[in-house]
Amino acid sequence: MTREAEVRFTCPEGALKQYISDLTGDYGVTFEDGRVMVYVKEIKETEQTYDKVRQLAGDIARDLQKQKVTKATVADEQFKEAFSKLDIQKVTTAFVEGWELGSYQFASYKSKEKEGKVALHLKQGALRHQAVKEGNLRAEATAFARDLMNEIPSKLNPETFPEMLKDAFANTEVEVVVHNKQALEKMEMNGLLAVNRGSKHDPAFIELHYEGDRSKPLIALVGKGVTFDTGGISLKSGRNLSDMRMDMGGAAAVAGAVKLLASLDAKVNVVGLIQTVENMPDSNSLLPGDVIQYKNGHTVQVGNTDAEGRLILADGLIRADELKADYIVDIATLTGAIAYALGPKVAGIFGEESLTATMKAVGDANGEFVWPMPLIDDYEKDLKSDYADFSNISNQSYGGSITAALFLRRFVQDPSKWIHVDIAGVMESKEEGYYRASATGFGARLLADYALAISQEN
């Protein structure tokens, strides 16, 4: 049975308008002549942002989904009045993006059927067809990242992850190169090999090459792909560790970003570098006190095996320099400290001020908010080791996200072109706006839009 709805940004004067205005929230839902009607309240000019558009669309889509509505119609000429200070094309893209992501579900392992999706029909002008298409592509790429993060660790592991990406990028302009364990040994990717020693699965290093315009600077996107993190010998404690399957959120963001750029036929030159391991305790596991010697000559004392993300990212950063990347961004669910510092809505970014300013502007526009954090050189001494060049953890209790970034900086030849993104606090969300109570897919749109911004500048 078809159940339809209409979304309106204007409400007729009288008792209905008063009723809608008295409701909490941004809109009200009524039933008129056999049809569900959604009336959106007037949005103050000071509150008009593209992320407000996404949040509103996501809330409405999910609300109608729960009411078993199958189709919703919106006349997008109303956007111009409702969001008068914003660009109508961008509003259309944001609304579609928010609608699709608000409808997202990961229900592969539920016995009940998924809630039906509410098809969005926009009565749009011909000029806005591209805006609708872009909104759908952006949502698809983010949903892809969410699916990867939500997948259970017995299905997504270091051996299956490369195959999933090969399938995802088949028949696209993205070249997928997978380095197996034997190749990693020859490439001296000793961080990956060390961290993965306790796993029954072999580690892998995955390269996603997309050359939309080879004349553009090469941007390397380096993603941490720990498919499950027990902490290793430094075993994690906690009542429920299920979300440690999301410790590959950085890798998911990189894969989602490359997918988005390729689907947009973007004029960029990007390589995604994904290190995938499983951090498990075992008789063969990496031990606290072990020393890893990296290809660039650095030796690292392992003070704690639960600080494994930086150990594998180091190999990714070395590889980015080998490929002569002009810009490098690494992204990882790296430290709990960043979540304490910034909370669940904002990721921390570290690097050159001009680059972090560009990324912050990108995040402010696309809703993946970031905040520039300091790299305090004086904290370098806290990584001191008595018998290796430095340790993978600080010997102090403060500034954990900063010392993690300082550790990574040592593996970048030119830190002036590097940004580190710590997404540990934003990897999952409660149900609100265009987020479900699951993985966020944070970083897919941020990295793609950052790559576009850098490429447009050069």
Q: Which residues contact 207 (CB under 8 A, 6 or more apart)?
A: 175, 176, 177, 178, 179, 271, 272, 273, 274
CA torsion, points 369, 312, 441, 357, in degrees to nearest 10? 20
Structure tokens at 242: 């299920």
Amino acid at 308: E
Q: Are 269 and 242 in contact (CB under 8 A)?
A: no
Could you give the CA distance from residue 186 to residue 179 in angstroms, rounded to a whole number? 10
Specify whether 236 is catalytic.
yes
CA distance 287 to 269: 39
Extract the tokens encoding 131: 């805006």
Collapse the DSSP code of 378 into the 3-class scheme (helix H, G, I; strand E, B; otherwise coil) and give the result.
helix
Task: Quote the tokens at residue 345.
Answer: 């809505």
Beta-ladder partners of 422: 332, 348
418-422 vs 327-332, strand pairing mode: parallel
User: Comparing C-alpha atoms, which of 191, 368, 208, 184 is closest to residue 272?
Assistant: 208
Nearest CA-CA partner of 79 in 104, 101, 57 = 57
Number of H helices, E strands in the chain: 14, 16
Nearest to 352 by CA among 369, 375, 331: 375
Burial degree of 89 (CB within 10 A; 0-12, 13-18, 19+): middle
Cα angle 446, 44, 359 (rounded to 5 degrees) comes to: 15
- The span from the CA of 28 to the CA of 351, in Å, is 44
| Sheet containing strand 27-32, strands side by side | 27-32, 35-40, 4-8, 71-75, 119-123
Provide the angle, in degrees to the nearest 10, between the axes of the packed helices 444-457 and 129-150. 130
The residue annotated as part of the active site, out of 155, 200, 236, 381, is: 236
Whole-number Å distance between alpha carbons of 106 and 104: 7
Name the active-site residue from 310, 410, 417, 445: 310
Catalytic residue list: 236, 310
